[in-house]
Amino acid sequence: MKCSLRVWFLSVAFLLVFIMSLLFTYSHHSMATLPYLDSGALGGTHRVPPGARAPGGGPTGHFDGNISPVWTRENMDLPPDVQRWWMMLQPQFKSHNTNEVLEKLFQIVPGENPYRFRDPHQCRRCAVVGNSGNLRGSGYGPDVDGHNFIMRMNQAPTVGFEQDVGSRTTHHFMYPESARNLPANVSFVLVPFKALDLLWIASALSTGQIRFTYAPVKSFLRVDKEKVQIYNPAFFKYIHDRWTEHHGRYPSTGMLVLFFALHVCDEVNVYGFGADSRGNWHHYWENNRYAGEFRKTGVHDADFEAHIIDMLAKASKIEVYRGN
């Protein structure tokens, strides 16, 4: 009798778990497939000067001008879902109070949004320069250098490649493991994947105590402290949710920079994204055209991200220069 009751209880428990699982799956799928509504941000906070391509609105209404791409004192508190998602990107054994870490960091760097106030008479033209080998021999350098903002990411050398990639840089996006020293007139934009990255930048600009995250990092960093900006994890997740739509574990650095530009610029021109004319994926400073194995890591969905870029270009939100 006891055995029969035990079997009966177990059967009922498994049935309940199965039903709840089905309900959760259906609910999650239904929410995930709801169309994104246009927030109307273009008509409010995002200015578009006459003749400029409107970056906002998005071809399918994904754009939300209310989410700041920069993490500041004003938006330190992350929504719980963002906090959980961000902390799982690169999980750490030791937990940190994010707000306490930011409070200390913002005693070293400004912690303000430099894009809040805009000149209504100026069209802010921005070049987002990727690292694709299709830049080799393109001759895009002078055109790139003619923009107000020139945004680069990770290694992105310019010396020796000026004719194709330009010589100027106003914003350089990096994470701790890819960071390098920058000239005084360049904004270092940290893309943090974990609280330890925030501790690292504070250390690298002061005591130099942190030398390792999941890989060796620079103990000291020579950048202009007044120009340091921190990429907002809420904006990171917004791109993952609304634009890359959970394709890949998280968006590539290229996607992060592109949408940063779309939110702070009036005109966005894109260089050095995608494969070269032969279909090879490699960096412009690499002589080996077949060195693009990074595309197959599975962390990012390069094909879906290429689709997003094509969609934005067809909708005249960006201009894409394909190179060679």
Q: What is the reported pLDDT for 20?
A: 39
Segment 103-114 mean pLDDT:
97
Active site residues: 250, 300
Write down the pTM of the prediction.
0.81
Q: What is the reported pLDDT for 62?
A: 84
Segment 106-123 mean pLDDT:
93
Residues that constitute the known binding site? 90, 131, 154, 214, 250, 254, 274, 283, 300
pLDDT over threshold 60, residue 52: no
Segment 78-102 mean pLDDT:
95
pLDDT over threshold 60, residue 4: no
The 3-class SS string of the chain reads CHHHHHHHHHHHHHHHHHHHHHHHHHHHHHHHCCCCCCCCHHHCCCCCCCCCCCCCCCCCCCCCCCCCCECCCCCCCCCHHHHHHHHCCCCCCCCCCHHHHHHHHCCCCCCCCCCCCCCCCCCCEEEEECCEHHHCCCCCHHHHHCCCEEEEECCCCCCCCHHHHCCCCCEEEECHHHCCCCCCCCEEEECCCCHHHHHHHHHHCCCCCCCECCCECCCCCCCCHHHCEEECHHHHHHHHHHHCCCCECCCCHHHHHHHHHHHHCCEEEEECCCCCCCCCCCECCCCCCCCCHHHHCCCECHHHHHHHHHHHHHCCCCEEECCC
Q: Which CATH number fits domain 81-114+126-321: 3.30.1490.120, 2.40.50.140, 1.10.3720.10, 3.90.1480.20?
A: 3.90.1480.20
Segment 163-168 mean pLDDT:
98
State the pLDDT confidence band at 61, using cuts at 50, 70 and 90: low
Residues that constitute the known binding site for substrate? 90, 131, 154, 214, 250, 254, 274, 283, 300
Reported as a single tens digit per residue, the pLDDT across 226-271 is 999 999 999 999 999 999 999 999 999 999 999 999 999 999 999 9
